[in-house]
Amino acid sequence: MNDGDNFPNFFYSKAPLPEKVSLFGLKNGKQEHFYWMLSVDNNFRNSEHKSSGFSNLAPYNDNDTEMVDCNDMEDNYEINPTKSGKYITSFYVPSLLHSAIIGPRGSKLKELQDNTNTLIKVPKPEEDAIVKITGHSERSVASARTQIALLVLSRRERLSVTHFVSIPVYSDNIKKKFLKFKNDILQGPATRGIDETIFQKVEKFHLTIVTLALLDDKEIEDAKVILNKCQKHIQQFFQNRKSKIILKGVEIMNDDPSEVDVLYGKVSLESKEETQKFQDMADEILDSFYKSGLVRKQYDGVKLHVTLMNSLFRKSDGIQKIKDNTSKRESFDASYILDKYKGYYFGKAPLEKICLSIRFTSTQSGYYQSATTITV
């Protein structure tokens, strides 16, 4: 195939591949051996093109800016045949994300339909938010759905987080030790960027398993169902044992300790075996949300840590300056803290529940409001 040639149609169809059987001989000295070779028949593409009545599809193009990660491709949906011999799939997309599929003046929608030789119906604002894709082959429909899923996921990632799956990490002992940690730092050597406002409230200490941008009531209900389905298996991880979360030591996620945005507390359980089960549990929850299409799986596993200090919390005259990671923030120098408090013991907290927490909310206890909660 030369550069610029269209891909053969078998790249876009689940029909059996066109085959060609050839006989060829190989000489080894005076002896000649004959072999049969089975290969894809490239000449078939011309006859297929003429008989089908359809133009060749453009090369498969999932993402204009980066290679496609197969982990981001859906594999748990149905493509059904229609009475007219075509194939159709339908799926829910929140109305706030429809513009990602349509594009300026419908340009993206036209591009998707041309590239995949499908008909894509995006609902009007007053209609149910169900996107429908119809095509002449299962492969073309699957290609269109994959590209739409990636477009929607990319747009979703640029939206503000509304909810997150969290595990509270709080006890009276942790509160006492953290307040001492905080006061000692504030009364210690003057350090660039450190003030009282960047310390997390101890009542909100938590582990984050996954962050979510849930755009309507249906997505919130879907997230609640996903988490609730995890409960039985999670309880099997710990066999109803009352495990304790240990908060000990501090760390950062960047290379320069003098330019830090977030300082974390290290987390473990009381044994290596329990810690590994804890990690497996967190990874399984993340995987459940990834399979739903609500998040992209950016890392191999969940990083288990508790935020202790965050430059996003910084306030001026009692007003929080920044409410999102996309905004410019003033870092702080954590060199002294990392040196002095490397192995600082904050205490233990009971591992009791996992919450679908609502961002920027508080209950009377000081923790986040929850859309749903499961017990461990």
Q: By mean pLDDT, which of 70-74, 95-99, 235-239 is the weakest? A: 70-74
Q: What is the CATH number of domain 163-375?
A: 3.90.1140.10
Q: Are 359 and 162 in contact (CB under 8 A)?
A: yes
Same fold, 9-157 and 163-375: no
Q: From residue 67, how far is each of 61, 63, 150 by CA, in Å?
A: 9, 7, 11
d(CA 198, CA 262): 9
4 compared with 113, residue with greater pLDDT: 113
Roughly what angle, to the nearest 10 degrees, separates helices 217-238 and 272-291? 150
**How much is the average pLDDT of 169-193?**
97
The residue assigned the tokens 């929608």 is: 109
319 pLDDT above the threshold of 70: no
Nearest to 252 by CA among 241, 239, 261: 261
**DSSP 8-class letter at 105:** G
The first and second tokens of residue 266, run together, are: 């290290």
pLDDT for residue 74: 58
In sequence order, the 6+-apart residues with CB closer than 8 A to the CB of 42 are 1, 8
Q: What is the CATH number of domain 9-157?
A: 3.30.1370.10
pTM of the prediction? 0.77
Kindly state the helix (H) or strand (E) to which residue 374 belongs, with its residue range: strand 370-375
Q: What is the pLDDT of residues 100-128, one digit of tens each?
A: 999 999 999 999 999 999 999 999 999 99
Instruction: Give the Cβ contact number of residue 109 at 10 Å.
Output: 17
The first and second tokens of residue 82, run together, are: 């229609």
1 pLDDT above the threshold of 60: no
d(CA 92, CA 355): 25
pLDDT for residue 239: 77
86 compared with 33, residue with greater pLDDT: 86
All structural domains of the chain with their residue ranges? 9-157, 163-375
Q: What is the pLDDT of residues 268-311, one digit of tens each?
A: 999 999 999 999 999 999 999 998 989 987 778 899 999 999 99
Nearest to 345 by CA among 268, 258, 278, 230: 268
Going by pLDDT thresholds of 50, 70 and 90, the confidence category of residue 168 is very high
d(CA 256, CA 254): 6
Going by pLDDT thresholds of 50, 70 and 90, the confidence category of residue 35 is low
75 pLDDT above the threshold of 90: no
pLDDT for residue 63: 42
